[in-house]
Amino acid sequence: MKCTVCRGPAVIDVRRHNSAFCPDHFVKHCQDQVRKAIHEHHMIEPADRVLVAVSGGKDSLALWDLLAGLDVTADGLYLGLGIGDYSDESVQHARAYARAHDRALHEVDLGADLGFTIPGAAEATHRSPCGACGLSKRHLFNRFAVDRGYDVVATGHNLDDEAAVLLGNVLRWDVGYLGRQHPVLPASEGFARKVKPLVRLGEREMAAYCVMRGIDYQVEECPMAVGNRHLGYKEALNAIEDRSPGTKAAFVYGFLERGHHRFAEDVASERSDLAPCTSCGAPTPDGVCAFCKLRDRIERAPSDQGTS
Ligand code: Q46
Ligand code: ZN
Ligand code: ZN
C-alpha cells in the first residue's frame, strides 16, 4: 500500500476517499478535513476564544491537537462525571496531554462541585445515565463558556457519531432533533456557539491520528454506554459502510446540504422564547431549567443515591 500523495509506504487507508497515507500525509489529511469543516460551516473566526470539551478520549484530544495544528489556540474543560475508574483514568489522560503541550485545562467535578455523579443521578431519577450525562455536559460546558467569556465550545463529535445520531433521529422522525442536528449551533443570548470540527473525520481516523501523534488516550469505552441505542446504530452503519464505503459521509453531508433546512425552520423560534432559569439564570422555556430540575430530583431522592 502506497501513500496516495507521496508514493511512500502507507500506514492507513481511508476507503471513503479511496486513499492511503503515510504518517505525515495522514496528519495533513486530518488537518485538511478539519480546516474544510471549519471553513465550510464558519465555525471559528480568528479572534474567537475557543473552549474544547475534553474527555480524555481519542476524539477530544485529537481535536485539541488538530486545532493547535491549525493555529487555533484553545483551552480545555474536563468534566468529572464520577464514573468510577473510567473517570479516574480519563482525567489523567486529559491532564497529561495538557501538561505535555502546555495547554490550559480547566476542570469541573460533578461530585465535588455539584454534589452528584452520573451513576448517582441515573439511580436517583430511574433514567438512563446518558440522559443525565448529556444534559449535564450541555449545561455545564455552556455555562462555563458564557461565564468565562469563551465565544465557542468545540466538541469531538466525529462523522460516526453524527451518522449514528442522524440515523436515530430519522428512524424515529424526531423533527425537533433533526432541526437542531448541525455542526454549528450559533450563539445567542446566554449560549456560546457550539461547533463540531471533526464532522468530516471517522472514529478510526481519530484513533489512528492519536497513535501517529503519540497522544495517549482513554481507550476504554464508558461503561455506561454498554447496550445503548447509539452503539447499535453505529454497528448497523459500520456494516453498511463496510459494503459501501462512503455511505456514512453521504448520509451526513447529504442531510446537511439538502435535508437540514427543511427541519430547521420548525426549531428556529425556540431560542427566542426563552427566559432565565429562576434558579441558575440559564436560558430556558420552562421557568426552571432542565439541569436544575435534574439536581432537584437527585436531592429529593432517598439518601445515599446522590453521590454513589
Ligand atoms: S460518557 Fe456520559 Fe457518554 Fe458515558 S454516561 Fe453515556 S453520555 S456513554 S458520550
Ligand atoms: Zn505520503
Ligand atoms: Zn437552572
The DSSP element (H or E) to which 232 belongs, if any, is helix 229-243
- Establish whether residue 225 lines the binding site of ligand 1, counting it when its CB lies within 6 angstroms of any ligand atom: yes
In the block, residue with C-alpha cell 471549519 = 38
Q: How far apart are CA 32 and CA 195, in angstroms?
A: 17
Considering the entire predicted model, what is its pTM? 0.95
Alpha carbon of 129 to ligand 1 centroid (Å): 7
How confident is the prediction for the chain on average, in pLDDT?
95
The residue whose CA is least distant from atom 5 of ligand 1 is 130
Alpha carbon of 277 to ligand 3 centroid (Å): 5
Q: What is the pLDDT of residues 8-59, one digit of tens each?
A: 999 999 999 999 999 999 999 999 999 999 999 999 999 999 999 999 999 9
Is residue 138 very low, low, confident or very high in pLDDT (cuts 50, 70, 90)?
very high
CB 150 within 8 A of CB 49: yes
Alpha carbon of 139 to ligand 3 centroid (Å): 9
3 or 308, higher pLDDT: 3
Q: What is the pLDDT of residues 57-66, one digit of tens each?
A: 999 999 999 9
Q: How far apart are CA 154 and CA 53, in angstroms?
A: 6
Whether 306 has a pLDDT exceeding 70, the answer reads: no
Structure letter (DSSP) for residue 173: T
The residue whose CA is least distant from atom 6 of ligand 1 is 130
Q: What is the pLDDT of residues 231-277, one digit of tens each?
A: 999 999 999 999 999 999 999 999 999 999 999 987 877 777 889 99
